[in-house]
Amino acid sequence: MLTRFAEDYLGDLGASGFTPRARVSGRLSSYDGLLMEAVGLSLPVGTVCAIGDTVEAEVIGFRNGKTLLMNLGGPAALLPNAPVRPLGPPGEAEVGAALLGRVVNGAGKPIDGLGPIRGAGTWPIAGKLQSPLDRGRVLEPMDVGVRAINGLLTIGQGQRVGIMAGSGVGKSVLLGMIVRAAKADVVVVGLIGERSREVADFLETKISGPARARSVVVAVPANHSPVLRIRGALRATAIAEAFRAEGKRVLLIMDSLTRVAHAGREIGLALGEPASARGYPPSAIAMLPNIIERAGTCAITGGSITAIYTVLADGDDGNDPVVDSARSILDGHIVLNRALAERGVYPAIDIGPSVSRVMTDIAARPHVHAARVLRRHLSTYEENRDLVLMGAYRAGADPAIDAAIAYHPAVMDYVRQDADQVVPLDEAITELTAVFGDG
């Protein structure tokens, strides 16, 4: 009778199409407050795991037969030998029009109180590798509403630009000016590693009103896990890539690239990598090109990602490893000067060391000529500034210095702009050529 029951039960079970599946699970062997080690399971890097009942962590590496994980945030009241179960790979990011007007965190979960995101598509969070020949050239200017940038550092559709400065010099204010005025179909903002207060401030003052409906914000403040900060940067870039694949003109704002490098430094040092320049392990600096190179123009769809990254120069050092690495990869950089800010010049753009590497391709010849004349006068004035202020220079001794002194008020008036003022591209070019076009 027992035999007949077993045959009937197993026969019914086989007929139902049931396939037994092993449940992968491991055990937590150590945790030092930052890095977790698990034994008994083998998972690829990037897999999200549940540890115990409440803690989520991501696999970041392996060591001596153990799987290394890092907490994705929240309290981690864990006990030895807590169960570790994989939840699934984090390879996909939710993308598409369903995200417009929404605010999500580094894990892609909405934090704006508007309910779940429905109808979103998916895109690889690490991006899709493009052939260099699939990248289109930067040939069209982009109006950002800032006179000094439109006229002297003209940005093109698909360009990657860095705003480089020390702390408190006006990077976020300049970003807000650009976001409000930029002519783009979609704006994707990644607020990575910054103050929590800035998230609400950015939403209410920088992308309020009609701009909110065409914007997606990924917010991962400084008190979140370093893994989440990096995932936030990758997620924001993936969202922008998906819109570019639809043929849209996307403006990607990331504030800040340095905080992403800081997160990479925390993870690299926890994994035992040797620290090199300024304590950054090689992997933290090597991560930057993988993020920056995903922006640009797509020759196949005609869409573009114009990316603007803020780069914090620690200690106002222009040779900081992150600043130096970003400057070598980007298509241009805008340097903000603390001395100009202290003199009340806002935005405090230091025209001399700032450059747009595509300006000659997208600007007319009279425009480029006038910009060079202004730069020449400004450079001459700055070189002789001390002599002029001390009264050691005698008027008429050098025509170039005389011209620089005469034009200096016009130069400063051109650079200055109120935070709530918008100067269109055509107006900025007209003002520039009218004053400096005959120089």
Q: What is the pLDDT of residues 248-297, one digit of tens each?
A: 999 999 988 999 999 999 989 888 888 887 788 988 999 999 999 999 99
In angstroms, rounded to a whole number, what is the distance separating the alpha carbons of residues 324 and 170? 20
What pLDDT band is residue 92 in, cutting at 50, 70 and 90? confident
Decide: 326 and 257 in contact? Cβ < 8 Å: yes
What pLDDT band is residue 209 in, cutting at 50, 70 and 90? confident
Closest CA to 174 of 305, 304, 310: 310
Give the contacts of 361 (CB within 8 A, at least 6 positions apart). 137, 138, 139, 156
The domain locations on the chain are 23-86, 92-362, 367-436
pLDDT at 11 (0 to 100): 62
Closest CA to 303 of 253, 251, 249, 242: 249
Top-confidence residue, 385 or 16: 385
Residue range 130-135: mean pLDDT, rounded? 86
pLDDT at 437 (0 to 100): 85
Q: What is the pLDDT of residues 303-335, one digit of tens each?
A: 999 999 999 987 777 788 999 999 999 999 999
Neighbours of 365 (CB within 10 A): 8
Give the contacts of 240 (CB within 8 A, at least 6 positions apart). 186, 188, 250, 252, 295, 305, 307
The answer as to CATH 1.50.10.20 being correct for domain 367-436 is no
Q: Whole-number mean pLDDT of the chain? A: 89
What CATH fold (topology level) applies to the domain 92-362?
Answer: Rossmann fold (3.40.50)
Top-confidence residue, 269 or 2: 269
Closest CA to 36 of 86, 1, 80, 87: 80
* Angle, alpha carbons 395-399-404 (nearest 5°): 85
pLDDT at 278 (0 to 100): 76
pLDDT at 309 (0 to 100): 96
Residues in the chain: 439
pLDDT at 3 (0 to 100): 64
In angstroms, rounded to a whole number, what is the distance separating the alpha carbons of residues 198 and 219? 10
Residue range 396-400: mean pLDDT, rounded? 89
Residue range 393-403: mean pLDDT, rounded? 89
Write out the CATH class of domain 23-86. mainly beta
Q: What percent of the chain has pLDDT over 70?
A: 94
pLDDT at 318 (0 to 100): 78
Crossing angle for the helix pair 282-292 and 257-270, to the nearest 10 degrees = 140
Domains 23-86 and 92-362 share a fold: no
Tokens of 297: 């123009």
